[in-house]
Protein backbone atom coordinates (compact mmCIF):
# COMPACT_ATOMS: atom_id res chain seq x y z
CA UNK A 1 0.00 0.00 0.00
CA UNK A 2 1.29 3.44 -0.89
CA UNK A 3 1.76 5.97 1.92
CA UNK A 4 -1.30 8.24 2.24
CA UNK A 5 -0.71 10.41 5.29
CA UNK A 6 2.21 12.63 6.40
CA UNK A 7 3.03 10.09 9.10
CA UNK A 8 3.13 7.30 6.51
CA UNK A 9 5.51 9.32 4.34
CA UNK A 10 7.79 10.04 7.31
CA UNK A 11 7.86 6.33 8.16
CA UNK A 12 8.78 5.44 4.58
CA UNK A 13 11.48 8.14 4.52
CA UNK A 14 13.01 6.74 7.71
CA UNK A 15 12.99 3.24 6.20
CA UNK A 16 14.80 4.49 3.10
CA UNK A 17 17.38 6.31 5.22
CA UNK A 18 18.10 3.09 7.09
CA UNK A 19 18.43 1.24 3.80
CA UNK A 20 20.85 3.91 2.54
CA UNK A 21 23.02 3.33 5.61
CA UNK A 22 22.96 -0.41 4.87
CA UNK A 23 23.82 0.05 1.17
CA UNK A 24 26.12 3.09 0.93
CA UNK A 25 26.82 2.37 -2.75
CA UNK A 26 23.13 3.14 -3.41
CA UNK A 27 22.96 6.16 -1.11
CA UNK A 28 22.07 8.70 -3.78
CA UNK A 29 18.87 7.15 -5.23
CA UNK A 30 17.68 6.05 -1.80
CA UNK A 31 18.17 9.51 -0.28
CA UNK A 32 16.38 11.11 -3.23
CA UNK A 33 13.39 8.85 -2.64
CA UNK A 34 13.50 9.64 1.08
CA UNK A 35 13.55 13.37 0.32
CA UNK A 36 10.51 12.96 -1.94
CA UNK A 37 8.57 11.35 0.91
CA UNK A 38 9.64 14.14 3.27
CA UNK A 39 8.33 16.70 0.79
CA UNK A 40 4.99 14.87 0.60
CA UNK A 41 4.88 14.88 4.40
CA UNK A 42 5.43 18.64 4.45
CA UNK A 43 8.90 18.28 5.98
CA UNK A 44 10.45 20.43 3.26
CA UNK A 45 13.29 21.86 5.36
CA UNK A 46 14.42 18.35 6.22
CA UNK A 47 14.21 17.37 2.53
CA UNK A 48 16.46 20.32 1.64
CA UNK A 49 18.97 19.08 4.20
CA UNK A 50 19.12 15.71 2.42
CA UNK A 51 19.70 17.44 -0.93
CA UNK A 52 22.47 19.54 0.63
CA UNK A 53 24.06 16.41 2.15
CA UNK A 54 24.12 14.74 -1.27
CA UNK A 55 25.61 17.79 -3.00
CA UNK A 56 28.31 18.11 -0.33
CA UNK A 57 29.17 14.40 -0.31
CA UNK A 58 32.54 12.95 -1.29
CA UNK A 59 32.54 11.56 -3.90
CA UNK A 60 29.99 13.94 -5.42
CA UNK A 61 26.60 12.60 -6.57
CA UNK A 62 26.40 10.76 -9.87
CA UNK A 63 23.66 13.12 -11.04
CA UNK A 64 24.21 16.55 -9.46
CA UNK A 65 21.86 18.23 -11.97
CA UNK A 66 18.96 16.09 -10.76
CA UNK A 67 19.73 16.77 -7.10
CA UNK A 68 19.96 20.52 -7.75
CA UNK A 69 16.70 20.52 -9.72
CA UNK A 70 14.86 18.70 -6.94
CA UNK A 71 16.31 21.06 -4.36
CA UNK A 72 15.20 24.10 -6.38
CA UNK A 73 11.66 22.77 -6.82
CA UNK A 74 11.44 22.06 -3.10
CA UNK A 75 12.82 25.47 -2.09
CA UNK A 76 10.35 27.35 -4.29
CA UNK A 77 7.44 25.48 -2.68
CA UNK A 78 8.20 26.84 0.77
CA UNK A 79 9.06 30.43 0.02
CA UNK A 80 12.69 30.43 -1.12
CA UNK A 81 11.98 31.59 -4.67
CA UNK A 82 15.14 33.67 -5.12
CA UNK A 83 17.44 30.79 -4.19
CA UNK A 84 15.45 28.40 -6.36
CA UNK A 85 15.74 30.72 -9.37
CA UNK A 86 19.52 30.92 -8.98
CA UNK A 87 19.80 27.13 -8.98
CA UNK A 88 17.49 26.80 -11.99
CA UNK A 89 19.43 29.45 -13.94
CA UNK A 90 22.62 27.51 -13.22
CA UNK A 91 21.14 24.26 -14.53
CA UNK A 92 19.78 25.94 -17.66
CA UNK A 93 23.21 27.39 -18.39
CA UNK A 94 24.69 23.90 -18.79
CA UNK A 95 24.03 21.51 -21.70
CA UNK A 96 21.25 19.06 -20.77
CA UNK A 97 22.48 15.55 -20.09
CA UNK A 98 19.66 14.17 -17.93
CA UNK A 99 16.01 14.16 -18.92
CA UNK A 100 14.70 13.99 -15.33
CA UNK A 101 16.57 17.10 -14.17
CA UNK A 102 15.31 19.18 -17.07
CA UNK A 103 11.76 17.92 -16.68
CA UNK A 104 11.78 19.00 -13.03
CA UNK A 105 13.16 22.43 -13.94
CA UNK A 106 10.55 22.93 -16.68
CA UNK A 107 7.66 21.69 -14.53
CA UNK A 108 8.75 23.91 -11.63
CA UNK A 109 8.65 26.94 -13.92
CA UNK A 110 5.28 25.81 -15.28
CA UNK A 111 3.84 25.35 -11.79
CA UNK A 112 4.73 28.96 -10.99
CA UNK A 113 3.23 30.37 -14.21
CA UNK A 114 6.58 30.91 -15.94
CA UNK A 115 5.18 29.30 -19.10
CA UNK A 116 7.54 30.87 -21.65
CA UNK A 117 10.58 29.86 -19.61
CA UNK A 118 9.11 26.40 -19.08
CA UNK A 119 8.58 25.91 -22.82
CA UNK A 120 12.14 27.07 -23.52
CA UNK A 121 13.53 24.60 -20.96
CA UNK A 122 11.47 21.72 -22.34
CA UNK A 123 12.54 22.59 -25.90
CA UNK A 124 16.22 22.82 -24.99
CA UNK A 125 16.12 19.39 -23.37
CA UNK A 126 14.10 17.74 -26.15
CA UNK A 127 16.28 18.98 -28.99
CA UNK A 128 19.46 18.03 -27.11
CA UNK A 129 18.42 14.58 -25.89
CA UNK A 130 16.45 13.32 -28.91
CA UNK A 131 18.53 13.52 -32.11
CA UNK A 132 15.49 13.92 -34.38
CA UNK A 133 11.72 13.33 -34.34
CA UNK A 134 12.34 10.22 -36.46
CA UNK A 135 14.74 8.57 -33.97
CA UNK A 136 13.94 6.17 -31.12
CA UNK A 137 12.88 8.06 -28.01
CA UNK A 138 14.35 6.75 -24.72
CA UNK A 139 11.67 6.25 -22.08
CA UNK A 140 12.90 9.08 -19.77
CA UNK A 141 12.72 11.54 -22.67
CA UNK A 142 9.12 10.71 -23.55
CA UNK A 143 7.80 12.68 -20.59
CA UNK A 144 9.76 15.71 -21.82
CA UNK A 145 7.78 15.55 -25.06
CA UNK A 146 4.49 15.28 -23.17
CA UNK A 147 5.35 18.18 -20.88
CA UNK A 148 6.47 20.34 -23.79
CA UNK A 149 3.21 19.56 -25.63
CA UNK A 150 1.19 20.58 -22.56
CA UNK A 151 2.96 23.91 -22.05
CA UNK A 152 2.86 24.80 -25.75
CA UNK A 153 -0.89 24.07 -25.73
CA UNK A 154 -1.32 26.43 -22.78
CA UNK A 155 0.60 29.09 -24.70
CA UNK A 156 -1.52 28.58 -27.81
CA UNK A 157 1.48 27.63 -29.96
CA UNK A 158 1.15 25.77 -33.24
CA UNK A 159 2.11 22.09 -33.40
CA UNK A 160 5.62 21.34 -34.61
CA UNK A 161 7.36 18.03 -35.37
CA UNK A 162 8.05 17.36 -31.69
CA UNK A 163 4.37 17.86 -30.80
CA UNK A 164 3.40 15.43 -33.56
CA UNK A 165 5.86 12.92 -32.07
CA UNK A 166 4.31 13.40 -28.62
CA UNK A 167 0.87 12.73 -30.11
CA UNK A 168 2.19 9.55 -31.71
CA UNK A 169 3.77 8.26 -28.49
CA UNK A 170 0.71 9.00 -26.35
CA UNK A 171 -1.18 5.78 -25.63
CA UNK A 172 -4.19 7.12 -23.72
CA UNK A 173 -7.74 6.88 -25.02
CA UNK A 174 -8.12 10.67 -24.97
CA UNK A 175 -5.87 12.58 -27.43
CA UNK A 176 -3.19 14.84 -25.98
CA UNK A 177 -4.80 17.92 -27.51
CA UNK A 178 -7.90 17.25 -25.43
CA UNK A 179 -5.98 16.45 -22.26
CA UNK A 180 -3.92 19.60 -22.62
CA UNK A 181 -6.74 21.88 -23.77
CA UNK A 182 -6.51 25.06 -21.60
CA UNK A 183 -10.28 25.52 -21.94
CA UNK A 184 -11.16 22.06 -20.63
CA UNK A 185 -11.46 23.23 -17.02
CA UNK A 186 -14.21 25.63 -18.02
CA UNK A 187 -16.47 22.63 -18.55
CA UNK A 188 -16.30 21.90 -14.81
CA UNK A 189 -18.60 24.89 -14.27
CA UNK A 190 -21.10 23.66 -16.82
CA UNK A 191 -24.55 22.35 -15.98
CA UNK A 192 -24.62 20.26 -19.15
CA UNK A 193 -24.39 16.55 -18.18
CA UNK A 194 -22.76 15.67 -21.52
CA UNK A 195 -19.95 18.19 -20.98
CA UNK A 196 -19.40 16.99 -17.42
CA UNK A 197 -19.31 13.35 -18.54
CA UNK A 198 -16.77 14.20 -21.25
CA UNK A 199 -14.55 15.89 -18.66
CA UNK A 200 -14.82 12.90 -16.33
CA UNK A 201 -13.67 10.67 -19.20
CA UNK A 202 -10.68 12.91 -19.88
CA UNK A 203 -9.74 13.04 -16.18
CA UNK A 204 -9.95 9.24 -15.92
CA UNK A 205 -7.63 8.91 -18.91
CA UNK A 206 -5.13 11.31 -17.38
CA UNK A 207 -5.35 9.55 -14.02
CA UNK A 208 -4.72 6.25 -15.77
CA UNK A 209 -1.53 7.64 -17.30
CA UNK A 210 -0.32 8.83 -13.90
CA UNK A 211 -1.10 5.45 -12.33
CA UNK A 212 0.80 3.67 -15.08
CA UNK A 213 3.84 5.85 -14.39
CA UNK A 214 3.57 5.35 -10.63
CA UNK A 215 3.28 1.60 -11.03
CA UNK A 216 6.82 1.55 -12.45
CA UNK A 217 9.00 3.41 -9.91
CA UNK A 218 12.02 1.68 -11.43
CA UNK A 219 12.69 0.14 -14.85
CA UNK A 220 12.04 -3.42 -15.92
CA UNK A 221 15.73 -4.30 -15.93
CA UNK A 222 17.98 -6.94 -17.43
CA UNK A 223 21.33 -7.90 -15.96
CA UNK A 224 24.64 -6.98 -17.59
CA UNK A 225 27.93 -8.60 -16.55
CA UNK A 226 31.12 -6.80 -17.65
CA UNK A 227 33.66 -9.19 -19.17
CA UNK A 228 35.94 -9.36 -16.10
CA UNK A 229 33.01 -9.83 -13.71
CA UNK A 230 31.53 -12.58 -15.87
CA UNK A 231 34.87 -14.40 -15.96
CA UNK A 232 35.09 -14.24 -12.17
CA UNK A 233 31.44 -15.32 -11.80
CA UNK A 234 31.82 -18.40 -13.99
CA UNK A 235 35.13 -19.37 -12.39
CA UNK A 236 33.42 -19.39 -8.98
CA UNK A 237 30.07 -20.81 -10.10
CA UNK A 238 30.50 -22.92 -13.27
CA UNK A 239 26.89 -24.04 -12.95
CA UNK A 240 25.95 -20.67 -14.51
CA UNK A 241 27.80 -21.38 -17.77
CA UNK A 242 24.52 -22.54 -19.31
CA UNK A 243 23.20 -19.00 -18.80
CA UNK A 244 26.32 -17.32 -20.18
CA UNK A 245 28.15 -19.44 -22.80
CA UNK A 246 30.37 -16.49 -23.77
CA UNK A 247 30.49 -12.81 -23.00
CA UNK A 248 29.66 -11.94 -26.59
CA UNK A 249 26.61 -14.21 -26.49
CA UNK A 250 25.59 -12.58 -23.20
CA UNK A 251 25.64 -9.11 -24.79
CA UNK A 252 23.71 -10.30 -27.84
CA UNK A 253 21.10 -12.04 -25.70
CA UNK A 254 20.72 -8.94 -23.52
CA UNK A 255 19.94 -6.66 -26.47
CA UNK A 256 17.59 -9.28 -27.95
CA UNK A 257 15.71 -9.60 -24.65
CA UNK A 258 15.25 -5.85 -24.41
CA UNK A 259 13.99 -5.62 -27.98
CA UNK A 260 11.54 -8.45 -27.33
CA UNK A 261 10.21 -6.70 -24.23
CA UNK A 262 9.90 -3.43 -26.12
CA UNK A 263 8.05 -5.07 -29.02
CA UNK A 264 5.62 -6.57 -26.48
CA UNK A 265 4.82 -3.03 -25.27
CA UNK A 266 6.78 -3.07 -22.02
CA UNK A 267 7.77 0.52 -21.15
CA UNK A 268 10.57 1.87 -18.96
CA UNK A 269 13.25 -0.70 -19.76
CA UNK A 270 16.71 -0.56 -18.25
CA UNK A 271 20.04 -2.31 -17.75
CA UNK A 272 21.68 -3.00 -14.39
CA UNK A 273 25.34 -3.94 -14.03
CA UNK A 274 26.22 -6.83 -11.78
CA UNK A 275 29.33 -7.46 -9.70
CA UNK A 276 30.31 -10.74 -8.09
CA UNK A 277 30.63 -9.41 -4.50
CA UNK A 278 27.24 -7.70 -4.75
CA UNK A 279 25.64 -10.82 -6.22
CA UNK A 280 27.13 -13.03 -3.50
CA UNK A 281 25.85 -10.67 -0.82
CA UNK A 282 22.40 -10.75 -2.38
CA UNK A 283 22.45 -14.55 -2.50
CA UNK A 284 23.39 -14.65 1.18
CA UNK A 285 20.52 -12.31 2.03
CA UNK A 286 18.17 -14.70 0.20
CA UNK A 287 19.68 -17.73 1.99
CA UNK A 288 20.52 -19.48 -1.27
CA UNK A 289 23.57 -20.32 -3.37
CA UNK A 290 24.86 -17.89 -6.03
CA UNK A 291 24.92 -20.87 -8.40
CA UNK A 292 21.10 -20.83 -8.44
CA UNK A 293 20.24 -19.35 -11.86
CA UNK A 294 16.72 -18.45 -10.69
CA UNK A 295 18.33 -15.83 -8.46
CA UNK A 296 19.65 -13.78 -11.38
CA UNK A 297 16.39 -11.98 -12.35
CA UNK A 298 15.66 -11.29 -8.68
CA UNK A 299 19.11 -9.73 -8.34
CA UNK A 300 18.46 -7.55 -11.39
CA UNK A 301 15.11 -6.39 -10.01
CA UNK A 302 16.67 -5.55 -6.65
CA UNK A 303 19.43 -3.49 -8.26
CA UNK A 304 16.83 -1.62 -10.32
CA UNK A 305 14.75 -0.91 -7.21
CA UNK A 306 17.84 0.61 -5.61
CA UNK A 307 18.22 3.02 -8.54
CA UNK A 308 21.05 1.24 -10.34
CA UNK A 309 19.38 0.94 -13.76
CA UNK A 310 20.49 2.75 -16.91
CA UNK A 311 17.53 3.47 -19.23
CA UNK A 312 17.33 1.56 -22.51
CA UNK A 313 17.46 2.25 -25.40
CA UNK A 314 20.04 5.03 -25.49
CA UNK A 315 19.91 7.40 -28.45
CA UNK A 316 21.66 6.08 -31.54
CA UNK A 317 24.47 8.63 -31.11
CA UNK A 318 25.03 7.90 -27.41
CA UNK A 319 27.74 5.52 -26.23
CA UNK A 320 26.53 1.92 -26.32
CA UNK A 321 25.53 0.32 -23.03
CA UNK A 322 27.98 -2.58 -23.59
CA UNK A 323 31.05 -0.46 -22.76
CA UNK A 324 32.62 -0.68 -26.22
CA UNK A 325 32.92 3.11 -26.46
CA UNK A 326 31.15 2.96 -29.84
CA UNK A 327 27.91 4.79 -30.60
CA UNK A 328 24.85 2.65 -29.88
CA UNK A 329 23.60 3.00 -33.45
CA UNK A 330 26.87 1.52 -34.73
CA UNK A 331 27.08 -1.21 -32.10
CA UNK A 332 24.18 -3.10 -30.49
CA UNK A 333 21.71 -0.54 -31.82
CA UNK A 334 22.13 -2.15 -35.26
CA UNK A 335 20.01 -5.32 -35.35
CA UNK A 336 21.98 -8.41 -36.30
CA UNK A 337 20.65 -10.08 -39.46
Burial group, residue 134, by CB count within 10 angstroms (0-12, 13-18, 19+)? exposed
What are the mean pLDDT values of the chain's consecutive 10-residue runs (337 residues total)?
77 91 86 92 95 93 92 95 96 88 94 94 93 78 92 92 91 79 63 70 61 54 94 95 94 93 84 92 87 92 81 84 89 71
Instruction: Report the distance separating Cα 82 and Cα 56, nearest Å.
Output: 21
pTM, to two decimals: 0.67
Instruction: Report the distance separating Cα 296 and Cα 229, nearest Å.
Output: 14
pLDDT at residue number 206? 60
pLDDT at residue number 19? 87
Alpha helices in the chain (DSSP H): 6-22, 27-40, 44-55, 64-77, 81-92, 99-111, 115-129, 139-154, 161-169, 176-179, 193-214, 227-236, 247-263, 276-285, 295-305
Instruction: Report the distance separating Cα 160 and Cα 162, nearest Å.
Output: 5
Which residue in 199, 201, 180, 204 sits closest to 189, CA to CA?
Answer: 199
Instruction: Report the distance separating Cα 256 and Cα 57, nearest Å.
Output: 38
DSSP state of 327: B
CA angle (90, 60, 328) in 5-degree steps: 80
Distance of CA 315 to the CA centre of its chain: 15
Q: Which run of H or E residues covers position 310?
A: strand 310-312
pLDDT at residue number 84? 96
Amino acid sequence: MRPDTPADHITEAERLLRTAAQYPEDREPLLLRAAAHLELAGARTRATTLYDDLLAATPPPENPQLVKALKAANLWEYGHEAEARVIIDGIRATPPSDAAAWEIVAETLEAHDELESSEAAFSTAVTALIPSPDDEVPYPSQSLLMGRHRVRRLLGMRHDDWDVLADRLHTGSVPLDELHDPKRLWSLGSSDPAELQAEITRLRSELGSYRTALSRPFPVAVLLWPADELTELLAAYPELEAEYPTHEAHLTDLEASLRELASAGTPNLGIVQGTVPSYEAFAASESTSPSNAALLPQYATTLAARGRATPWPPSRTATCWCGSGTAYGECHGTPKI
